[in-house]
Amino acid sequence: MSKNFIKPSILPGFMELLPNEQRIFDDIATKILKVYEKNGCYPIDTPVIEKADVLLVKSGGETEKQVYAFQKGKNDLALRFDLTVPFARYVAQHINELEFPFKRYQLGKVYRGERNQRGRYREFYQLDIDVINKDKLSVDNDAWVISLASQAFKEIKLPNYKFQISNRKILSGIFEYLQIENTFETMNLIDKYDKMPTNEFQAELEKLIGEEKSNFINKIMSINGSSAQIINQLKGFDINETYAEGVNEIARVVKMLEILKVEEKEYDINLKIIRGLDYYTGTVFETKLIGNESYGSICSGGRYDNLAENYTDTVLPGVGISIGLTRLFFVLQEIGFIEIYNLNRSDDFIILPLGDTMDYCSIILDKLLANGSRASIYFDDASLKKKLKYANNLKIQNVIIVGEEEVKNKIVKIKDMVSGEEKIIKIDDL
C-alpha cells in the first residue's frame, strides 16, 4: 500500500537558501554588523510578536494593510512589520536604563503582507541602525547613519550603489505655501514619480491639486545638477520657514557626508524621494544599484521627530537606516554578484581518514580548531574518490588525507582543492 506524501514546499514570498548560499548571506550580514559594532553601535533584539495596539499605534494607510494581525485568546497581536517601531517601544520602556544618545543595531526578520511578486518578500531580514536622543538630535546624525551604510557596502565590495537623499520638510513647506489640503494623496503620488510615465504623473497631479500648483511643484522637483547646484537653486526660493529648514538640513547633511568621507559619487539629492512609511519627518533616503534601478531600493530610512510619542511624554527624536538584507541578496543573485562573491574559504578543512587512523585525525582536528579554522572529519566509510567529490561539492578548500604513512611519520598532507597544490608539514607545525 503506497503512502500519500505531502509535497514539500513553502509559501510564496519566503526565502530559503542552500547551505553555500546561506554561508554567503551570513558572511555579508557579519561584515555589515562588524562595521556597525566598531562604529560604536550597540546590539538589541525585540520580539517578533508585539501587542497590536503598541505596534499599530502610529501606522496607517498602506502600512496597516500589510500587517499580519491575529488573536490569541483575548490578546490582539501582530507580527512586526519593521524594526523601527519596536525600537521606539523598546527605548520608551527602558528609558531609565539607557544612555543617550543611544545608537543601536539590530538584525531580525520582519513580516509584511506584500502582494506576491518577484523580489518582494513577506518574511525578510532587515539590518538596522538607529540613533535616538532625548529632546533634540543633531542633523549630523542623519549623515552619520548614511556613512555607516556606505562603509558597510564598501566592506562587502558592493559596486555602483547610490544614496538618493531628500528632506520631507521641503515638500511640506511647499504644500503649506500652496495651501494644498490633500497632502497625503499628493505625497503618495510624488513617491510613485519614477514608476509612472511623465505625462501620466502630470495628469494625475493636476487632477489632485490643479494645473498652477502642479506646475510649481514640478518646477522644484525638476531641479538638477550637482548637490551644491541643487542646494543653491533651492535656496533661491523664498517660500516659508518649514521649506527653508528642510533646505538647510539637506545642505548640512551633504556637508557632513563630505566630512565623514562619503564620496560625492555615492549620493544624489532627489526631491522625489518621499518614503511610504508615515513616521518620517525630515531627512529621507533610499539606495539604488546603478544600472539595476528596476529592482527598487535596497537600503532606506530617515528622520523621525518623535516616534515614541505614543509611549512616553519624553520627546525622543531619532534617525535610522535599514538594509533589506533578504531583498538585497535576491538582487545580488539576479545581477551575478553572488556568483563572484569572495567568500574566504582558506581556513576550511576536511580530514579524510584512510584505514584505522582516527586517533591521529582527532589530533589534527584539535589543532585546527584551536587555531580558529573551520574543520571536520569525514566519518563514514567511502572511497577516497567519493570523499574528494564531497569536499569539492561543498567548496571546502583544504583536504587533509590521513593514511598509515602520515601517522608513522607524524606529518600532515594538505591538498588545496582550488589550486591543486599539495604540501606536507610536520604535525607540530600545523
Does residue 383 belong to any structural domain of this protein?
yes
Does residue 401 belong to any structural domain of this protein?
yes
360 and 261 in a single domain? The answer is no
Q: Is 279 annotated to bind ligand?
A: yes
What is the average per-residue pLDDT within 238-242? 91
Element (H, E) at 398: strand 398-402
Assign residue 91 the CATH number of its domain.
Answer: 3.30.930.10
Q: Which amino acid is it at 202?
A: Q
pLDDT tens figures, 97-143: 999 999 999 999 999 987 777 778 999 999 999 999 999 999 999 99
Does residue 3 belong to any structural domain of this protein?
no
Does residue 1 belong to any structural domain of this protein?
no
103 and 134 in a single domain? The answer is yes
Does residue 4 belong to any structural domain of this protein?
no
Q: What is the pLDDT of residue 313?
A: 93
Minimum mean pLDDT among 215-219, 232-236, 265-269, 286-290: which range?
Answer: 215-219
Answer yes or no: are the C-beta atoms of 174 and 190 closer than 8 Å: no
DSSP string of 173-242?
HHHHHHT-S-HHHHHHHHHTGGGS-HHHHHHHHHHHH-HHHHHHHHHHHT--SSHHHHHHHHHT----HH
171 and 263 in a single domain? The answer is yes
What is the average per-residue pLDDT within 262-274? 91
Q: What is the pLDDT of residue 327?
A: 92
334 and 402 in a single domain? The answer is no
The answer to whether residue 244 scores a pLDDT higher than 90 is yes
Q: Is 229 annotated to bind ligand?
A: no
40 and 63 in a single domain? The answer is yes
What is the average per-residue pLDDT within 165-172? 92
333 and 412 in a single domain? The answer is no
Q: Provide the number of structural domains found in the chain.
A: 2
Domain that holds residue 363: 348-426
> Which one of 303, 320, 340 terminates a domain?
340
Which residue from 38, 264, 250, 286 is spatially nearest to 151, judged by alpha carbons?
38
Q: What is the pLDDT of residue 164?
A: 95
Contacts of 98 (CB under 8 A, 6+ apart): 91
Q: Is 112 annotated to bind ligand?
A: yes
Q: Is 82 annotated to bind ligand?
A: yes
pLDDT tens figures, 276-303: 656 788 999 999 999 998 888 899 999 9
Give the model's confidence band at 252: pLDDT under 50 very low, under 70 low, under 90 confident, else very high: very high
The answer to whether residue 8 scores a pLDDT higher than 80 is yes
What is the average per-residue pLDDT within 19-42? 96
Contacts of 122 (CB under 8 A, 6+ apart): 11, 12, 13, 14, 111, 112, 113, 114, 116
301 and 417 in a single domain? The answer is no
273 and 375 in a single domain? The answer is no
333 and 355 in a single domain? The answer is no
Is the C-alpha dihedral spanning 141, 147, 152, 153 positive or negative?
positive
Give the model's confidence band at 65: pLDDT under 50 very low, under 70 low, under 90 confident, else very high: confident
Answer yes or no: are the C-beta atoms of 294 and 331 closer than 8 Å: no
pLDDT tens figures, 369-408: 999 999 999 999 999 999 999 999 998 999 999 999 999 9
Q: What is the pLDDT of residue 220?
A: 85
Q: What is the pLDDT of residue 207?
A: 85
Contacts of 330 (CB under 8 A, 6+ apart): 15, 119, 121
Q: What is the pLDDT of residue 63?
A: 64
> Which one of 283, 308, 340 terminates a domain?
340
> Which one of 284, 316, 340 terminates a domain?
340
329 and 355 in a single domain? The answer is no
What is the average per-residue pLDDT within 83-87? 92
Does residue 2 belong to any structural domain of this protein?
no
Q: What is the pLDDT of residue 216?
A: 86
Does residue 313 belong to any structural domain of this protein?
yes
Q: What is the pLDDT of residue 306?
A: 85
What is the average per-residue pLDDT within 170-181? 88
Answering whether pTM is above 0.75, one says yes
323 vs 3, which has greater pLDDT?
323
Q: Is 428 annotated to bind ligand?
A: no
Q: Is 388 annotated to bind ligand?
A: no
Q: CA 74, CA 391: separation in Å to the nearest integer? A: 53
Does residue 56 belong to any structural domain of this protein?
yes
What is the average per-residue pLDDT within 140-156? 97
CA 175 to chain centre: 32
Cell of 257: 557626508
42 and 83 in a single domain? The answer is yes
Cell of 39: 562604529
> Residue 199: what are its φ and ψ, rounded to 5°?
-65, -35
Q: What is the pLDDT of residue 58?
A: 61
Which residue from 295, 288, 296, 332 is spatially nearest to 25, judged by alpha carbons?
332
Q: CA 100, CA 97: separation in Å to the nearest integer? A: 10
* Residue percentage of the chain with pLDDT more than 90: 67
Q: Is 234 annotated to bind ligand?
A: no
What is the average per-residue pLDDT within 165-178? 90
Q: CA 229, CA 13: separation in Å to the nearest integer? A: 42
pLDDT tens figures, 176-209: 888 888 887 888 888 777 777 888 888 888 888 8
Q: What is the pLDDT of residue 1?
A: 61
Q: What is the pLDDT of residue 133?
A: 96
What is the average per-residue pLDDT within 237-253? 94
Angle between helices 227-235 and 241-259 (to 10 degrees): 160
What is the average per-residue pLDDT within 341-353? 90
306 and 162 in a single domain? The answer is yes
Give the model's confidence band at 79: pLDDT under 50 very low, under 70 low, under 90 confident, else very high: very high
Q: What is the pLDDT of residue 62?
A: 59
Query: What is the rounded average pLDDT for all residues in the chain?
Result: 91
Assign residue 399 the CATH number of its domain.
Answer: 3.40.50.800
Q: CA 171, CA 163: separation in Å to the nearest integer? A: 19
